[in-house]
A and B are shown apart, each in its own frame.
Chain A
């Protein structure tokens, strides 16, 4: 009998089969988790932190996260974007408590140290003491006690930050294929914020990361998709890993006639119910081919986001680690300035597809949060990834785990596992 009990961490080796196997200890080991944050989120990566429509005017801010660290995205009086740690340089208290708003400066609630929107310390109470007593030493230098500033990049309407001085420029980090897909959604027209959903998922962040690289589960676990013929195994579908597994994209062409066709593949999926009719078809019928390419799909930018276009619903899923056994999913829904009423209505209706209670996403967080205690209790158990073969190449099917294998190929190199 194969043991699934936890061995000492020094004994941990990746299964000999390679990327077709994933050991469960990577989802529960605090040392692995700490190393991931160091190597990935605080290392040589670009982290998504928000959209420019969330800080639309000079003197505005929003809170975000890089890894577990809270940050503030600001637009200063001159209109320039900055990303600073949301941590007072004095005693480390959380500086900004509001998710979004307007401000000319940021003042810590603890001792009222006050910073401008660039993160420079502007002043602190009782610098010179009171009644001639106390106060800071004469050599205290305000210019050396500002907030920690992150390197920042803006592409179209998207805002990114990094702790690394060595990571290549954002455009190079993303690469041409992600750049084209990102620009298609966020760079052609000014963005308009539609709203947010947020949820805490009690699973390791990688379980979600894999989940959005796993098209194969979608027709099975999300019966809404197959029931209403939106996304089926007999449709056109592409799963494409990029940069040796770092990023990926998937896409398909929507076929409005698919519901009326029945092929061998779709017969295998028992959840298709032709007797069920959707009352409001707006939710699944793209009437506005706004990108003029008939495409829908999603792409992942390691290590923070999945950007998704379902018909006219545009959404960024931000995966924020919250300890080894939890992550937050922050969903930001957007459209464009000047959207007409019809498109706006479709975006809002179709946003019901995703989010914490989305027609095609509510099952994910339920399954993953029940999966976490299982992988924690069997750390030396091993998962199998052989759907679509053993390789990590692009495949023109959704019946594949190639994107997950490609991810672990990348992951093992970066983590030295």
Chain B
């Protein structure tokens, strides 16, 4: 995924809701927040579960299992839950109605 990969239509991603997708076996969730689209890894770093099944609260997604929270813009873990490691954040571009992601260098 060193090149841009189309992951969704722009219309798939709406405010206040996670869009769960997958590229080359990697679970990725898309979020629209304050007009921009963000993509972060969708598997909690504590236990194997999709974060997008959890609770979206502003700019953070809360894991459905143990309430570890991650920043949807950066993938950074927020202290207070059982997860200690960040999930990856991906570069995002929107082009011709499609959403493309690329692994950050």
* A interface list, Cβ under 8 A from B: 104-105, 107, 112, 114, 116, 122-128, 130, 142
Cα–Cα, bound, A126→B67 (Å):
9
Question: Could you mark each residue 74-89 of chain B with 1 if its beta carbon is under 8 Å from any beta carbon of chain A, else 0?
Answer: 0000000110100000
Q: How far is the CA of A104 from the CA of B85 in the complex (A)?
A: 12
Given contacts A104-B82, A105-B82, A114-B82, contact A123 B55 (CB under 8 A): no
B82 / chain A contacts, CB cutoff of 8 Å: 104-105, 114, 116, 122-123
Q: Determine chain B's interface SS by DSSP, over half rule.
A: loop
Query: Within 8 Å CB of A116, what residues of B?
Result: 82
Residues of B within 8 A of A126 (CB): 64
| Interface pair B65/A125, CB less than 8 Å apart | yes
Q: Is the CB of B67 within 8 A of A127?
A: yes
Report Cα–Cα, A107/B47, bound state, in Å.
Answer: 10
Closest chain B CB from A126 CB (angstroms): 7
CA gap between A112 and B66 in the complex, in Å = 8
Output the residue of A105, A130, A142 with the most chain B CB within 10 A: A105
Contacts of B64 in A (CB 8 A): 125-126, 128, 130
Decide: A122 and B65 in contact? CB cutoff 8 A.
no
Collect the chain B residues with CB atoms within 8 Å of residue A114's CB: 46, 65-66, 82
Determine how close the nearest CB of chain B comes to the CB of A316; give it in whole angstroms. 33
Least Cβ–Cβ distance between B75 and chain A, in angstroms? 19
Min distance, Cβ A106 to any Cβ of chain B, angstroms: 10
Residues of B within 8 A of A127 (CB): 67
Q: How large, as a class, is the contact surface on chain B? A: 10 to 19
The reply to whether the CB of B52 lies closer than 8 angstroms to some CB of chain A is no
A66 to B91, alpha carbons, bound, how many Å? 54
A contact residues around B46 at 8 Å (CB)? 105, 114
Which residues of A sit under 8 angstroms from B67, Cβ to Cβ? 122-124, 127, 142
Q: For B81, list chain A residues within 8 Å (CB).
A: 122-123
- The 9 sampled A-B contact pairs (Cβ below 8 Å) are A114-B66, A122-B66, A122-B68, A123-B67, A123-B81, A124-B65, A124-B66, A128-B55, A142-B67
How far in angstroms is the closest Cβ of chain A from B61? Answer: 12
Is B63 among interface residues, defined by CB-CB distance under 8 A?
A: yes
Q: In the assembly, what is the distance between CA of A238 and CA of B60, in Å? A: 68
Residues of B near A122 (CB, < 8 A) are 66-68, 81-82
Q: How far is the CA of A124 from the CA of B68 in the complex (A)?
A: 10
Q: Which 8 A-B pairs have the closest CB atoms?
A: A123-B66, A123-B67, A122-B82, A125-B65, A114-B66, A105-B82, A128-B55, A114-B82
Which residues of chain B come closer than 8 Å to A105, judged between CB atoms? 46, 82
Q: Which of B39-97 contact A (CB under 8 A)?
A: 46-47, 54-55, 62-68, 81-82, 84
Known: A104-B84, A114-B46, A128-B64. 16 other contacts (CB 8 A): A104-B82, A112-B47, A112-B66, A114-B65, A114-B66, A122-B67, A123-B65, A123-B66, A123-B67, A123-B81, A124-B67, A125-B65, A127-B67, A128-B54, A128-B55, A130-B64
- B67 — nearest CB in chain A belongs to which residue? A123
CA distance A124 to B47 in the complex (A): 12
What CA separation (Å) do A107 and B46 show in the bound complex?
11
Complex formed: what's the CA distance from A318 to B19 in Å?
56
